[in-house]
Amino acid sequence: MAVLKIYGDIGESLPETFMGEGAQSMSSKIVSEFLEENADASEIIVRINSRGGDVQEGWAIYDLLVNSGKKIKTIGEGKIYSIATIVFLAGEEREIMKNADGLIHNPFIPPFTLADKYESDDLEKIAESLKQEEEKILNFYVEKTGSTPDKLADYMKENTKLSAEDMLALGFATKIVEPIMAYAYYKPNIKKMDEKLFFEKLGSSFDGFILKMKNFSRIKNLTLKDVDGKELNLEKEEGSPAVGDMASPDGSYKMTDGKVIVVAEGKITEIRDADKTELELAQEKIAELEAKVQAAEAEKPDLVAAEASFKAKEAEARGLYDELSKLKNEWKPATRTNINTVDKVGEINLAQVREIMSKKQKSK
């Protein structure tokens, strides 16, 4: 396992006169060299505390990490702002410290890069390029996080700062790391720098747009109580609990409607229906057996009806037989006076014969 620390801005290193003494950016070249030096590592942990920086360098670092053939885990510490969120999403596992936060916004051109002269055609090309990059980043966020494009587009437009809980709920992070012990202090050494350099250290060139933020967190948790009074926190603003929802703390909760909600590793893994009493289970078994008996009764042949039908057909057949026998006995040919001459032939009722034969056919 190897650890890559992205502590600082993303991009090629800038002159010291701009960033201050000892400034160092994280470039794709540095990441490429790091991967070559750690070719034997099977896992890379990327620790990120960055305001962001150059968009193309951010994409290049992302591509290097995901195509390295290694398992990538990212950990957000402090700031995961701007293009640093792209690098953060390179991780299969994406942890964020409890007190860290992210920030997403539409891409823009920093003021210090607009020193040249531009004609109207140049500005149109720049605007079109920015629009394409904006759509590219939005589509990438939607694909990697599963959040809706409308919501993310609104957040990007407003330069929205996201808490650790927001980052988890929106799908940027997969886990929040709770600190065992935390403390913070701020000790500016203003005596050793002039006012201009002090504000450059704070990142006024990059972070001025943060002043436009309306809210630090837009997502509010939904809190439910079970029958024992235990609180279940759902990381959603509204709706009923569902399997897959982010929730805390871990455990089993029996709700007032009887359903049991199981939370494991910060996520709802199971929702069971209310447990049934022994009487209810017995009643269900009885109903099931009665249904089987009724189905068996419906399939049993009606022997009485079958016997009656057989006897009726038998009687009909006997009647036809008697009629034919009687007709045969009644018919006699006339006496012959000459071998070639028939004086009289007995008449046969052919219509009656046809009727009898027709009845015989129908009785079969």
Give me the tens of pLDDT residue by residue for the chain, a chain 364 residues long.
Answer: 899 999 989 987 654 434 444 446 899 999 999 999 999 999 999 999 999 989 999 999 999 999 999 999 999 999 999 999 999 999 999 999 999 999 999 887 766 555 566 677 777 887 888 888 899 999 999 999 999 999 999 999 988 999 999 999 999 999 999 866 555 555 555 454 455 554 555 554 444 444 444 444 555 578 888 888 888 888 877 778 888 888 888 888 888 877 889 998 888 998 887 766 667 777 878 888 888 888 877 766 667 777 787 788 888 777 777 777 776 666 555 444 444 444 444 455 666 767 777 776 666 5
The whole domain housing 137 covers 2-212
Residues 59 and 199 placed together within one structural domain of the fold: yes
Residues 233 and 332 placed together within one structural domain of the fold: no
Say how many residues make up the chain: 364
Inside any domain, residue 277: no
pTM of this prediction? Answer: 0.49
C-alpha pair distances (Å), 53 with each of 11, 84, 216: 6, 8, 21
| H-type alpha helices, 110-192 | 120-145, 149-157, 164-170
CATH of the domain at 130: 3.90.226.10
Residues 142 and 46 placed together within one structural domain of the fold: yes
Residues 133 and 161 placed together within one structural domain of the fold: yes
Residues 130 and 50 placed together within one structural domain of the fold: yes
The DSSP call for residue 67 is T
Residues 153 and 263 placed together within one structural domain of the fold: no
Inside any domain, residue 29: yes
pLDDT at residue number 97: 95
Residues 113 and 137 placed together within one structural domain of the fold: yes
Where does a domain end: 254, 272, 290?
A: 272
3-state secondary structure of 140: helix
3-state secondary structure of 26: strand
pLDDT at residue number 340: 46
Q: How many distinct structural domains can be found in the chain?
A: 3
